[in-house]
Amino acid sequence: MNTATLEKMRKMKLFGMFRTFKTNIESGKIEGITADEMISNLIESEWDDRQNRSIERRLSGAHFRYKASIEEFHFHTDRNIDRNQLMRFGDCSFIKKNENILITGSTGIGKSYIASAIGHQACSLGYKVLYHNTAKLLGKLKIAKADGSYLKEIAKIERHNLLILDDFGIQPFDAQGRAVLMEIIEDRHEKSSTIITSQVPVSKWYELIGEQTVADAILDRIVHESHRLELKGESMRKKGHLKKEPILEAQGKTK
């Protein structure tokens, strides 16, 4: 009977229940467990298994640049990093409020790592996250306009609770790129959250985007009422710490 039950669990894809029931049988624990305890254990195992698989799907679908964790950060007082601010970002309350985060600093300082770490945390809390290099995303969407898949791609981006635009401003924006960026930002404005990382200070984004009217519209929606992290210090990549020991220097500014 137990063999038949296990097979039915497997076919019904109740993998959490399957593993727990099989373990209890093999260990002989099944004899000393009451019916209500067994049911509770099976349900709990299935719940945990589905939650973990759901998180893995979200992490896989996000396409993060780094496998990162906020808990891995090393906070030192001489680094001038606002630990409380990063911890607040980690609870993802900014996503509930449809707020944005802007992270700036020189190359290799850890901007992408921080953004990815926040994104990983958001996935674990049930949010749908999407990571993109800004230039590559705009290039992809330009091609999508040509092959007729543009609306599908834009709708996919819009469905995510958090969008991470990495390396913003590495390449200059042309007219088509500005238009695509404007549509993305407009779709997300006050409806979902965006994290933007850039080597260029926010004060220079206006001239970076170009075209006064479009720049005004984009910056009005992403800069005002956003949280800011302005990283400083030597490149963590050159020091070999970026993946092993993400010690960052930052000066946090919040609303």
pLDDT at 81 over 70: no
Q: How confident is the model at residue 135 (pLDDT cuts 50, 70, 90)?
A: very high
Are both 191 and 99 inside the same structural domain? yes
pLDDT at 182: 95
Are both 45 and 110 inside the same structural domain? no
Are both 53 and 69 inside the same structural domain? no
Supply the range of the domain harboring residue 25.
2-59
Q: What is the mean pLDDT of residues 159-185?
A: 94
Are both 8 and 70 inside the same structural domain? no
CATH number of the structural domain spanning residue 152: 3.40.50.300
Are both 177 and 106 inside the same structural domain? yes
Are both 115 and 15 inside the same structural domain? no
Rounded to 10 degrees, the C-alpha dihedral 66/191/175/62 comes to: 20
- Spatial separation of the C-alpha atoms in residues 17 and 47, rounded to whole Å: 9
Q: How confident is the model at residue 245 (pLDDT cuts 50, 70, 90)?
A: very low
pLDDT at 25: 84
Are both 78 and 55 inside the same structural domain? no
Among the three residues 10, 29, 59, which one is the final residue of a domain in this structure? 59
Q: What is the mean pLDDT of residues 201-226?
A: 90
53-78 confidence digits (pLDDT tens): 899 999 999 999 888 888 776 555 44
Are both 229 and 179 inside the same structural domain? yes
Are both 50 and 73 inside the same structural domain? no
- Count of all residues that appear for the chain in the document: 255
Are both 40 and 107 inside the same structural domain? no
Please provide the average confidence, as pLDDT, over all residues in the chain.
85
- Structure-model confidence comparison of residues 82 and 161, the more confident one: 161
pLDDT at 235 over 80: no
Among the three residues 59, 79, 97, which one is the final residue of a domain in this structure? 59
pLDDT at 77: 47
Burial status of residue 121 (CB atoms within 10 A of its CB: 0-12, 13-18, 19 or more): buried
Number of domains in the chain: 2
Q: Is the pTM of this model over 0.95?
A: no
CA atoms within 13 A on the CB side of 202: 19
Among the three residues 13, 34, 59, which one is the final residue of a domain in this structure? 59
- Spatial separation of the C-alpha atoms in residues 246 and 120, rounded to whole Å: 15
Phi and psi at 165, nearest 5°, equal -105, 105
Q: What is the mean pLDDT of residues 74-96?
A: 76
Are both 67 and 17 inside the same structural domain? no
Q: What is the mean pLDDT of residues 43-60?
A: 90
> Which residue's structure tokens are 């040509």?
146
- Spatial separation of the C-alpha atoms in residues 248 and 75, rounded to whole Å: 8
Are both 11 and 109 inside the same structural domain? no
